[in-house]
Amino acid sequence: MEPDFSPAARSVAQVVSYITHPLFIPLLVTFLVLQSIPEYMVAFKPLTKRFPFDMLYFRVGIISLFFPMLTVLLAKSLGFISSIYMKGQKDRIIPYVACTIYYFWAFYTFLQEGRAPKFYTAFFLGIFLAISISFVTNIFIKTSMHTVGWGGVIGFLLSLMWGMHMNVSTPLVITFFVAGLVATARMVLRAHSPAEIYTGFFIGIICQLAACRILVI
């Protein structure tokens, strides 16, 4: 029998789910990279601008936030999905297909330009792989995209540790804590089963490690 959580606990879990939504993760990772190791991103830093990396933020925001949200809103308005919250597996098909295109585009353009460091380009390759695999697993189970996303952050940090030999122990510990909080929130809301939660983590971590192996190591 599943535990019955109080309305207050469910409200807190809902807030956690909103603020840790996977759509925000590419911008968050970009911010962390630019703040912690800006020397790797000097190719994106205009010399005459007051806000040095605003165009990169804009570019990542368009790909990771604007286009996916626009896709969901259009699909809802046209009746292709029943809810913008995509609670059912069928509702996720169109957003999955669209996001695979968006993130392949992001990966391919960063790769062709050659301005971004390989580990950053690999991050977008990892997202593309994770969404592609999640699209397949969606046929069988409603894989948690929250844990795919935060598993991806864990995998990205592990890639920096193993592939680039960077000391990321502190952000890794923090990310594990946040990932656990996210997983708990999704189960409190009964949005996913434990199997769907763990599958998401596995996909996110493995895809980032695979992307690092392909491009970096």
Tens digit of each residue's pLDDT (9 = 90 or more) over 100-125 = 999 999 999 999 999 999 999 999 99
Task: Please check the confidence at residue 51 and state whether its pLDDT lies above 70.
Answer: no
Task: Please check the confidence at residue 140 and state whether its pLDDT lies above 90.
Answer: yes
Mean pLDDT of 65-71: 96
The encoded tokens of residue 165 equal 């030999």
CB–CB of 179/201 below 8 Å? yes
CA–CA separation, 186 vs 192, rounded Å?
6
The encoded tokens of residue 136 equal 């397949």
Task: Please check the confidence at residue 90 and state whether its pLDDT lies above 80.
Answer: yes
Percent of the chain's residues with pLDDT above 90: 80
For residue 46, the model assigns a pLDDT of 64
CA–CA separation, 153 vs 151, rounded Å?
5
The encoded tokens of residue 174 equal 């923090």
Mean pLDDT of 11-40: 94
Domain segments of the chain: what residues? 8-215
Mean pLDDT of 176-184: 97
pLDDT, the chain, mean: 92
Task: Please check the confidence at residue 3 and state whether its pLDDT lies above 80.
Answer: no
Task: Please check the confidence at residue 47 and state whether its pLDDT lies above 60.
Answer: no
pLDDT band at 53 (very low <50, low <70, confident <90, very high): low
CA–CA separation, 85 vs 9, rounded Å?
20
pLDDT band at 216 (very low <50, low <70, confident <90, very high): confident
Cα-based torsion angle of the residue sequence 39, 50, 66, 120 in order, rounded to the nearest 10 degrees: 0
Residue at token pair 């330009």: 113
For residue 57, the model assigns a pLDDT of 92
pLDDT band at 161 (very low <50, low <70, confident <90, very high): very high
CA–CA separation, 115 vs 46, rounded Å?
13
The encoded tokens of residue 194 equal 């434990």
Query: Who wins on pLDDT, 67 or 1?
Result: 67
